[in-house]
Structure formats: C-alpha cells, structure tokens
C-alpha cells in the first residue's frame, strides 16, 4: 500500500510502498483511510523543523487530520463495526504511572511530555491507504458528515478552548447566565479572532455559532476567499493593513475574548493591550523562534490584574472536544452550507502531497484522498 513519509536523515518527503498493517490485538480496528487534511504542522514536519519517527524507524508516515472507514474489527471491539466512519484522535498517553492526566484518559494535559502523536511524534500517521488503531481513540462520524469530517480534528482546537472559556465565563462575571443554552453563551459578548487560516476560520465559525459578535483580524486584504467566508458566516473582517489594534478596539468596544490562531508571537503580544475588562485571551498558535522584541511587562501585568483578565494556552484535544467538533460541523453545515463547501480547497492524490505541503497554500484546506470511489 502507499503512504506519505518523511525521512529526516536524507531530508526527503515521498510516497512509499509498504506492507498493509494487520490487526494483532483484540481492541484494534482496521481503517481504510479516506481523507487526510494538510496543515501547518505537516509543513513544519516536511521542512524538518518538527516531528520524530517512531523509535528505531528512519521515517515518519505523516498525517493527523483524518477520516476513515472501518473495514475490520478485533474480537473485543464493541462500539464499531465495518462500514462505520471514524475520525481518530491524535495524541497517545505517556507510559508514566504518575502522570494523572494520561492515566485518566486526558493525554492532552500530559505532564511529562512523553506522549506520542500519530503523524507527528514517535508514531506513524494516517496518510496511508490502511491504518490499524485502537477502538478507544476512534470518534464515530455520522454518515452525513462524510464530506467535511476531515475538519473535525483542526476544529477540536477551538472546541477545547471554548469549553474552558464557557466554564470560566459562567463561573466568573457572576451576572452571566450559567444556564445559557447552546448558541447563547456568547450573546452580548464580543470576540476577536487573530488569523484567517483554517484554525482561525473554524474558531470564528464556532464563536459565531455560540452567539458572540465575532471579528476576524489578519493581514490579508480583499479580494480573498477566506475573507468572503468570514462575511458569509456573519462575522466582520478587519485587515491589519488598514486598521491598527487601538482603532479596532475602539470599533469593537469591550473585547471579551481574543482567540489567537496565527502562531506569531509579535502579533499576539500587540493584541494583549486591547483585551477588555474581564477578558480572556486564548493562545493556540505555536510560534517558531522569532526575533527578540522589547515588551512592556508592567502594563501587561497591570491590565491582567486591574481588569480581571485571563491568559489561557491550549494544545491538542480530548474525546469531548471531538464530540463537540462533530456536533458543530453539523451545525455549520446546516447554517452556512455554501460557506462550509468552500472550506475544503480540493482533494488530491497522495503523489501530490509533498508539493501541496511544501508549496504555497491555494485554498483554505487541502485534502489528500485515498478514496477511489469519491
Ligand atoms: Zn493539523
Ligand atoms: Zn502523560
């Protein structure tokens, strides 16, 4: 079978032929991979800045944003059967008995850093025709979401963050309604998304669905299909080339939430001073090492204290976030069918993966497909 692999030694990214895996344990499932999304993490891995092959291997099969069809199950598998569609979670627990996060099934909060991640760190990924995995890491996908389920994994970033934001909002300013129904948690509040990549756009859709008055701020100027998508979901796009952070804050009023999805430390730091009273600043981007900048830690500290602010970092996601992502994808699809259709730029064969990953992104999300029936 074919797989897309990166070889850090000779610094090569290519399609390889390898033997298809087999079920060897009773809790395993055999997956026929359908779609695998490409993201910035893949680009970093294929530029040899990030990513580690499994111990003893000279290569890493990439791919972590997946949707697959179950084609075989081990004797102890209970929830799944052949024909089911699944999205796999990516991170696998560390082996340490003392890691309370991993031992309780919350490896996204792992203390030790010795977790593995399929397609990223010490475990092969999903950009292959067939994959064997364990039932417990599979998230069942309703058949109606087949076309967009590949977006579930990148959407979990926003879902994990929002679950914590809602919890904090419902437990902090005491006048907010703790019983607010889905779609109303953000009513009367404003949210600013930094960045217009897939994580930012999916974050904006999630915030708009939760009822926030949502702004998206990035460098790009119109015309741009990503800006069209912001318009289509009823959010407001503002370009950093035309409007400064203070001007933006003036326009938005109290900024209750900033959702950072650019991974650029200077840009994120420049946004901190406009975070509003009782505001929450969520960081999701992982910046590469960037030039040192002078900052003003005193005013940052003053604001955090005097305005009851929260600075929150979040990485990876657990089972609840996958369930929420699949629920929200269905909500997006019903609410904005045309816009959701534009999220996936195209489906391409595995042979095109290296150039798609390393080239300039064309649409919003490029997808590698092994589904010959599509
Ligand atoms: Zn990704
Ligand atoms: Zn751990």
**Span 102-119, pLDDT tens digits:** 999 999 999 999 999 999
Rounded to the nearest angstrom, the distance between the alpha carbon of 286 and the centre of ligand 1 is 12
The ligand that comes nearest to the alpha carbon of residue 316 is 1
Distance 163 CA to ligand 1 centre (A): 20
pLDDT for the residue numbered 258: 97
Name the phi and psi angles at 213, rounded to 5. -75, 110
Burial of 168 (0-12, 13-18, 19+ CB in 10 A): middle
Distance 308 CA to ligand 1 centre (A): 32
Rounded Cα distance between 125 and 51, Å, is 11
Q: Is the pLDDT of residue 336 over 90?
A: yes
Q: How many angstroms separate the alpha carbon of residue 39 from the centre of ligand 2? A: 25
Task: Give the pLDDT confidence of 270-317 residue by residue, as tens digits.
Answer: 999 999 999 999 999 887 766 677 778 888 899 999 999 999 999 999
Ligand 2 centroid from CA 115, angstroms = 6
Q: Is the pLDDT of residue 185 over 90?
A: no
The SS3 assignment for 152 reads helix
CA 84 – ligand 1 centroid, Å: 23
Angle at Cα 162 formed by Cα 175 and Cα 335, nearest 5°? Answer: 100
Query: What's the predicted TM-score (pTM) here?
Result: 0.94
- Please tell me the predicted confidence (pLDDT) of residue 114: 98
46 CA → ligand 1 middle, Å: 13
| Beta-carbon count within 10 A of 242 CB | 8
Quote the percentage of the chain above a pLDDT of 70.
97
**Counting ligands in written order, which one lies closest to the CA of residue 286?**
1
39 near 50, Cβ under 8 Å? no
- Give the contacts of 247 (CB within 8 A, at least 6 positions apart): none
CA-nearest of 115, 159, 137 to 314 is 159
> How much distance in Å is there from the Cα of 223 to the middle of ligand 1?
26
CA of 67 to the centre of ligand 2 (A): 26
Burial class (CB in 10 A: 0-12, 13-18, 19+), 278: middle
Q: Which ligand is nearest to the CA of 101?
A: 2
Mean pLDDT (the chain, rounded) = 93
Residue 221 has, within 13 A of its CA and on its CB side, a CA count of 3
State pLDDT tens for residues 241-280.
999 999 999 999 999 999 999 988 888 889 999 999 999 9
Question: Which ligand minimizes its atom distance to the CA of 112?
Answer: 2
Q: Which ligand is nearest to the CA of 315?
A: 1
How many residues are given for the chain? 374
Decide if 86 contacts 156 (C-beta within 8 A).
Answer: no
Ligand with the closest atom to the CA of 50 = 1
How many whole angstroms from 62 Cα to the centroid of ligand 1? 10
Distance CA 225, CA 231 (A): 10
CA distance 241 to 276: 22
The rounded distance, in Å, linking the Cα atoms of 275 and 309 is: 8
């Amino acid at each position: 079978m074919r797989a897309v692999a990166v070889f850090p030694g000779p610094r090569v990214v290519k399609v390889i032929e390898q033997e298809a895996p087999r079920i060897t344990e009773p809790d395993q499932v055999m997956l026929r991979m359908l779609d695998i999304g490409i993201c910035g993490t893949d680009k970093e891995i294929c530029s040899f800045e990030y990513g580690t092959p499994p111990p003893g291997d000279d290569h890493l099969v990439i791919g972590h944003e997946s949707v697959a069809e179950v084609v075989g199950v081990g004797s102890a598998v209970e929830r799944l059967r052949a024909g089911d569609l699944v999205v796999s979670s990516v991170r696998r627990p560390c082996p340490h008995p003392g890691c309370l996060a991993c031992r309780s099934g919350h490896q996204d909060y792992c203390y030790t850093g010795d977790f593995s991640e399929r397609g990223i760190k010490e475990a092969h990924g999903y950009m292959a025709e067939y994959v064997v995995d364990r039932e417990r890491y599979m998230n069942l996908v309703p058949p109606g979401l087949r076309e967009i389920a590949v977006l579930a994994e990148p959407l979990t970033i926003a879902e994990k963050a929002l679950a914590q934001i809602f919890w904090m909002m419902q437990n902090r300013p005491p006048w907010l309604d703790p019983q607010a129904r889905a779609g109303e948690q953000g009513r009367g509040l404003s949210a600013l998304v930094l960045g217009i990549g897939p994580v930012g756009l999916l974050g904006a859709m999630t915030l708009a669905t939760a009822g926030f008055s949502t702004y998206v701020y990035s460098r790009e100027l119109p015309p741009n299909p990503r800006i069209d998508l912001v318009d289509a979901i009823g959010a407001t796009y503002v370009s950093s080339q035309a409007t400064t952070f203070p001007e933006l804050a003036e326009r938005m009023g109290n900024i209750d939430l900033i959702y950072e999805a650019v991974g650029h430390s200077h840009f994120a730091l420049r946004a901190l001073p406009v975070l509003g009273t009782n505001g929450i600043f969520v960081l999701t981007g992982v910046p590469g090492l960037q030039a040192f900048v002078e900052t003003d830690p005193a005013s940052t500290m003053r604001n955090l204290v005097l305005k009851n602010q929260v600075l929150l970092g979040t990485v990876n996601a657990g089972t609840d976030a996958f369930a929420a992502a699949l629920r929200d994808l269905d909500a997006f699809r019903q609410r904005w069918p045309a816009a959701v259709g534009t999220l996936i730029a195209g489906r391409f064969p595995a042979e095109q993966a290296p150039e798609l990953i390393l080239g300039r992104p064309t649409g919003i999300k490029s997808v590698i497909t092994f589904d010959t029936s599509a």
